[in-house]
Structure 1
Amino acid sequence: MATTSNILTLLKYNCNKQKTNMLEYGQFADYIHRYAQHHIEENPDLVSYCSADYKMVLEAELNSLVADKQVAIVSIRNKDFLCCVPYFIEKYNEILTSIETNPLVPLPNVNELPKQVPHDILTKVEPDEIVYSRLQKEELDDKKLYCIVFGKNFPALLYPSNYPMERLVQICLKKVQELLHKEESHDYFLKKLTISNPGKELSIKNFFTQFVQNPQAALDVLKTSGDTFYYWSQMCYFLKQDYTKLKDFTPEDISILQSVAIIEVATSYHKSKTQERLAQEAAFEQLDVLMKNPPYYYNMADIVKMKDKNGIPLLGQYKEDQLKEHLRMKTTEAPNNQLPDLLVFKVSNDAGYYIYKEKVVPLILRLANDIRVLVREALIKSWYHRLLEYDVLPEMRENAAFEDCLEREIASVEPILHALLNSPFLQVVSLEDQSTGHIALYKDGERIPYSEILMVSRQEILADAKLKLPFWYSIPVISLILKLIFRKPKDKVKKNKKESVTLKAQEEVKEKEREEFRKRDEDDSVDPLKARRRDLRKAAMEIEAQFVPENSTLDRELKGYMHEWNDRIGKQNYENLGEDVDALIRDYFRKVLRTLKADTFNAERISHLAEALVDTPSMMKIKNHPALKRYVELYILKIVKNLPSN
């Protein structure tokens, strides 16, 4: 043994050397004194045991070990003896290890503890407490000798803390297996299980046969599915029922009862873990479904807030670290060198957004369609004002400058679209896209121009801007003279290429809306009905930010979602379906509005109202329900925002 100053190690070493479970106090003290004197040069920490008061130093050390249940001091015939817990831990570990190869050896129980050894050295625990905790997180050490108490019917089990709980469960399974191998026990318990489960004879026989042949495999089935838990619990119940009727227990009978009790707790643990795992899998499946719903792109903050169908947050059904691992696997694992199902893209310096691969192209088309008219009208208006001042911008003449102009507009108005169009995975996604109405975003290895994506033409925009000019701008001579007179010097012309004309147009619309709301609210009197409508309008304005992105408008979002759920072919059919749905929403909400109050009008209430309407038979025929639900929410918001004052 290497030189040490650890008293517990020296005590255990002496017990093993003398093959005894306790040492006489005085003899051990003298041994420590001699040991310290002999090894003081090798280990200076032993100096305190070389002094004249070494017994006091040893007593203080032993008292600390007694408090930790590592050592017990026993008085026998006026002499003090030391019991070393690590010695017993090692001893019972060896017994349990031997049972692994010979299941007929009884499990160690508390009655086998030597009479002189006090039970104070034992750490008493309930079966469910120790089995659950150690199966959950196994921590092996030689500090505790557990006494697993099963009640008054049969003795407690001695279990050393350095023996894995999983191996103890396997020993218990082998003991019950050994019992059921006997022909009379095999037929008897199989018959009891079969009688108690009429109509399930085949599944009972399969379970019983599997357990008798390979109990660990039967337990593994429980770990993965949990379907056999009922059979496990019944078998344990019948075994306990028969053995507790015995008046005199043999060591083998006690071992069977102890084994059944351990198996019961272990199967209950694995059942709960299986249910927890299945619940987590269901929650992750629900998460994947929600992430495929509009708006299709979500950051971590959005994902954390997601709720299931019952309105219960998904975070709680799984842990945050499990969520991160799930997203990591979804964004990294892919078969056959393909892109993973879930992709990540960034918008400037913001946190990353997650989007499913199959939703990338549809989202690009939808966003491009949403902003096409907005960008076109804003450019016409901007170019018209420039032409009025006889100023010609580069984007009016050159296609390259026009494409740069469109990129600036897209980046300002719809950063998500700009980020997707410049993402590294877009080309592969476009090639893999086999959806209906597939549109090629790449030609000859190059992404198609922004003008093609937005379906706008430089010449058409310029022509429309010129049409708005006064007639004399089209007369060459007059136009040239006026240009020389009124055109401002170049250094006085305010040009800001990074500024988005579309964004400015949007801000003007929003400011106009806010001004209208202010005027309408000022016109409201103290009339209760008018006051209630005013409060509802204010609430709608505050809630709007939760439904409408900062760089978008309510009407634009409504149009975008209508394109998703309205699959009618033909302009008339498309408009008719849209009008029918709008009418249904208005009729439905008119009834709700009678009792609706501003303090209860929030995003969650809107979501519940929309869900209730979408689930009605009239709406069930529409296929894309997530997009339809979002449209209903936005339309309800629009109704409340536009409530009249009178």
Structure 2
Amino acid sequence: RETALKNLMLFFQKPPYSYTMEEILAFTDSRGVPLLGQYSREDLDGFLQEKTSAGDASLAEILVFRDKNEVRHFVAKEKAEALTVRLCEAARKPVKTSITRMWYDQLYAYSSSAAMRTQNDFEALVENECRKFAPELYALWNAPFMPLLAHESLSGKLGAVSAAGFPVFAHGAVLPLSGLLMLRRQELLTDAKILLPFWYSVPVLSAILAFFRKRRGAKHRRTERTEAAAEAGVSAEEKADAPRNFAKTVADTERAIVPAGSSLEAELASALAQWNLSLDAQNRKNQEEDVNSLIRDYVRRIQHTLRSQTFDADRVRNLARTLADAPGLRPVKNREALYVYIQLYILKLVKHTARMH
């Protein structure tokens, strides 16, 4: 049994580094004999429970993240950077090809997009393409433990540069996907322009062709302009509605977490009283502020990942569970009350942010 469990742990040191529960159940030893059978399912569940629980000085030995289908992926903490590199290597070509082709089509139609002009819009485009072509990488990049790994890189517990030789973290934060995939906006735009017929690079010819194209389809163009104007209006309206949509998402999340008939503040006070049991008033106040400060710092680091499309009760619970297992909070005895408190305080902070916008 013990040998089989050691063999199990060795799998997490080997490519592809990330495994689902289905894959873990199918592990075999060097003779091809299934490991499940050499240990029981109860042994496996207990082993994973132990390894995915944080210790006193660091994150858990095995980290867990979920993909868009809510399938759990397990990766050894020391291999998280290697996994990121591996997934980036696989994702770079399809994401780059998709964006280049998209921009080529736009330029060929004498059009352009905001992603060609501004870095923020380009980052959003890369994220969207990564979600489509590299869902596991996107899930890992968004995993709640990644900011904590980045923070550990500052203290030297993790290297700031991956084994492959390029950085995954910088200044205590996870690099944007464009950086991880080594995609530069101007280079992609140049690549798209190179694919265009040669006359697109000759201003006079390009202007003449654009003129005759417009004349040939004048009526069609007028219709298209009308539709484009309507679409632009919708896009502008949607952009203006983004803060309102996020506020609505936060309100829906609050209703899912806070029991009916109660309030966020009431539940916060109740959870606080259950985990903060110090008899000394000043100690209670200090402990509360220490925990609140840790939560605030964590939320600030992940603020850019909070969007109306991905923010819900499950996301809050995942963030809270990760933070509850942080080394600084391990001494708190009532773990469940602390977990509930962290959920509620995260919700309070995000709710305040939504109101500010």
Alignment counterpart, residue 329 of structure 1, candidates 35, 40, 50? 50
TM-score (norm 1): 0.31
String of CA shifts for 1:501-558, please: whole Å, max 9, x gaps: xxxxxxxxxxxxxxxxxxxxxxxxxxxxxxxxxxxxxxxxxxxxxxxxxxxxxxxxxx
More deviation, 370-379/415-424: 370-379
C-alpha distance in structure 2 between counterparts of 1:440 and 1:460, whole Å: 20
Identify the residue that residue 71 of structure 2 maps to in structure 1: 351
- Aligned-pair distance for 1:436? 4.5
Aligned to 1:297: 18
8 Å contact kept, 1:389–1:486: no
Q: Map of 1:574-613 to 2, 5 A cutoff?
A: none
CA distance in 1, matches of 2:145, 2:17: 16
- Tell whether the 8 Å contact from 2:52 to 2:64 is kept in structure 1 after alignment: yes
Asked if 2 retains the 8 angstrom alpha-carbon contact of 1:399 and 1:458, the reply is yes
1:447 aligns with 2:174: yes
Aligned partner letter, 2:118: E
Q: Which amino acid aligns with 1:472?
A: W
Specify which of 74, 81, 103 is matched with residue 383 of structure 1: 103
Deviation at 1:373, TM superposition (A): 2.8
Counterparts of 1:91-240 in structure 2 under 5 Å? none
Contact in 2 for aligned 1:364/1:417 (Cα 8 Å) = yes
- Return the offset for 1:402: 0.9
The one-letter code sitting in structure 2 at the alignment partner of 1:399 is Q
Greater than 6 Å deviation, 4+ residue runs:
492-495
Deviation at 1:413? Answer: 1.0
C-alpha distance 475-438 of structure 1, shift in aligned 2 (>3 A)? closer
Q: Within 2, Cα distance between the matches of 1:333 and 1:427?
A: 15
Please say if residues 123 and 178 of structure 2, whose CA atoms lie closer than 8 Å, have aligned partners that are also in contact: yes
Please give the secondary structure, in 2, of the residue aligned with 1:298. Answer: strand
Map 1:527-566 onto structure 2 (within 5 A): none
**Separation (CA, whole Å) in 1 of partners of 2:108 and 2:71:** 43
2:65–2:139: 8 Å Cα contact kept in structure 1?
yes
Alignment CA distance shift 1:335-1:438 (3 Å): farther
- 1: CA distance, partners of 2:18 / 2:55: 20
RMSD: 2.6
State yes or no: 1:433 paired with 2:154.
no
Aligned partners of 1:330 and 1:342 also within 8 Å? yes
CA contact (8 A) 2:168 2:174 kept: yes
Aligned to 1:480: 207
Q: Could you tell me which amino acid in structure 1 is paired with residue 142 of structure 2?
A: N
Contact 1:345 1:352 in 2 (8 A): yes
Following TM superposition, by how much is the alpha carbon of 1:351 offset from its aligned partner in structure 2, in angstroms? 2.0
Paired letter, 1:397: R
Give the CA deviation at 1:394: 1.7
In the aligned structure 1, how far is the partner of 2:108 from the partner of 2:99? 14
Number of residue equivalences: 216
Query: Structure 1 residue aligned with 2:191, among 447, 459, 464?
Result: 464
Secondary structure of 1:390's partner?
coil
Residue of structure 2 in register with 1:255 after alignment: none
Instruction: Label 1:289 to 1:444 Cα distance change in 2 as closer, same or farther (>3 A).
Output: closer
Seen in structure 2, the aligned counterparts of structure 1 residues 436 and 476 have a Cα distance that, compared at 3 Å, is: closer
Partner amino acid, structure 2, of 1:425: F
Paired residue secondary structure (1:344):
strand
Task: Say if 1:331 and 1:340, in contact at 8 Å, map to a contact too.
Answer: yes
Q: Give the drift of 1:382.
A: 2.3
Which structure has more RCO (C-alpha within 8 Å, separation ≥ 6)? 2
5+ residue gaps, structure 2, are: 215-220, 236-357
CA pair 296-317 structure 1, distance change in 2 beyond 3 A: same
Instruction: Give the fraction of aligned pairs with identical amino acids, expressed as a percent.
Output: 35
CA–CA separation in structure 1 for the residues paired with 2:25 and 2:133: 27
> What amino acid does structure 1 have at the position aligned with 2:87?
L
Counterpart of 1:380, as a letter, is T
Larger-gyration structure (1/2)? 1
* Residue matched to 1:312: 33
Change in Cα spacing, 1:439 to 1:287, as seen in structure 2 (3 Å) is same
Q: Could you tell me how far apart the structure 2 residues matched to 1:310 and 1:289 are?
A: 15
**Cα separation, 2, equivalents of 1:327 and 1:301:** 13
Offset at 1:360?
0.8
AA aligned to 1:345 is F
Q: How many angstroms does 1:445 deviate by?
A: 4.0
Relative to structure 1, the CA distance from residue 470 to residue 419 in structure 2 (aligned partners, 3 Å threshold; closer, same or farther) is: same
Mapped to 2, the partners of 1:293 and 1:322 lie a distance apart of: 22
Counterpart position of 1:551: none
Deviation, structure 1 residue 326 = 0.7
| Contact 1:346–1:353, Cα closer than 8 Å, also in 2 | yes
Question: Which position in structure 2 is the counterpart of 1:363?
Answer: 83
CA shift, 1:286, in A, is 0.6
Q: Is the 8 A contact 1:343 1:357 kept in 2?
A: yes
1:329 partner letter:
E
Q: d(CA) in 1 for partners of 2:71 and 2:128? A: 21
Q: Is the 8 A contact 2:51 2:62 kept in 1?
A: yes
SS in 1 for 2:52: helix
Aligned mate of 2:141, from 411, 415, 421: 421
Counterpart-to-counterpart distance in 2, 1:333 and 1:377: 40
| TM-fit CA distance, 1:472 | 2.4
Distance 1:309 1:445 in 2: 40
